Amino acid sequence: MFTNRVTELFGIDYPIIQAGMIWASGWKLASAVSNAGGLGIIGAGSMYPDVLRSHIQKCKAATSRPFGVNIPLLYPDLEQHIRIIIEEQVPVVVTSAGNPKTWTRTFKDAGITVVHVVSSSKFALKSQDAGCDAIVAEGFEAGGHNGREETTTLVLIPAVKNAVQIPVIAAGGIATGRQMFAVMALGAEGVQVGTRFVACEEASVHPHFKSAVLNAAEGDTQLSLKKLTPVRLLKKRVFSARCRKRKGEVLTRANWQAYWAGHVRNGACTKGTWKRGNWRLARQVRW
């Protein structure tokens, strides 16, 4: 059996973490991944607090293996989410989109393993200083929200590996064994994979979304809303028009929260309508 610091940290068989993805990764996907020996993650960013609690409870019932919850630290109901995660004794938390200093201690004091998602060496170091157990270093290729630096996985992983001592989990553009091998040769000790898991039976998105993943080709995703909050989306006519509408918006707390609140209301991924969905896919869409 392969073991390294990542398998030991989480108590898993393979150093493969399934990314928390809004609308796509509920308890079904997370428990399936954990049962298969990886680390399944519930994506809390699209869930109201009571929905999150229910997903955690169902996940615990469906697997006896470790699993985690991903929470964007700018989420409007953040404190309620944190309380639920601690009350439910979730083994792992993956935090993103915020300062790792603010909440890491709270989670650690509750006995929870903390991983922060970063897109630069600078924030990797900040996460290590904040007491995080590991980091996910996410390159430009990654689906969904993304760093402003546009540093790609091939360049980011060695840089981050040089900067910190805690384990580095690579993310962005990884969907195959070869790609996993390549990033581990660069110094990563594990991988976080998102888009590949969207196509799984257990992902909670509409079959139209799964087909879009399977049929997307090179150049079919694009980093959008660069000023407001960079996010990699599947290019499509209707959403492109909506992006153009928001294009001029710059990042303010109010703008961002209004944008984010849209995710909670927006069930398009699950309803499979092109019109309302902003479909987030990683660069790697074929494997």
Q: Footprint of its own copies on this chain (CB under 8 A)?
A: 120-122, 139-141, 148-156, 158-159, 172-174, 176, 178-179, 181-183, 185-187, 218-219, 222-223, 283-284, 286
The neighbour count for residue 214, using CB atoms within 10 Å, is 12
Q: CB of residue 181 vs its own copies: minimum separation in angstroms? A: 5
Which CB atom, from 70 or from 179, has the smaller least distance to its own copies? Answer: 179
Nearer to its own copies, 45 or 230 (CB): 230
**In the complex, least distance from residue 147 CB atom to its own copies, rounded to whole angstroms:** 9
Residue 18 Cβ vs its own copies, minimum distance, rounded to whole Å: 19
Amino acid 152 reads: T
Q: Which is nearer to its own copies, 69 or 142 (CB)?
A: 142
Burial classification of residue 171, based on how many CB atoms lie within 10 Å of its CB (0-12 exposed, 13-18 middle, 19 or more buried): buried
Provide, rounded to whole angstroms, the least separation between the CB of residue 194 and its own copies.
14
Q: Which is nearer to its own copies, 152 or 266 (CB)?
A: 152
Nearer CB in complex with its own copies: 26/194:
194
Q: How far is the CB of 124 from its own copies (least distance, A)?
A: 10
Q: Among residues 41, 29, 87, 95, which one has the least CA distance to residue 66?
A: 41
| Nearest to its own copies of 68, 139 (CB atom) | 139
> d(Cα 66, Cα 35) in Å, to the nearest integer?
9
Shortest distance, position 104 Cβ to its own copies, whole Å: 23
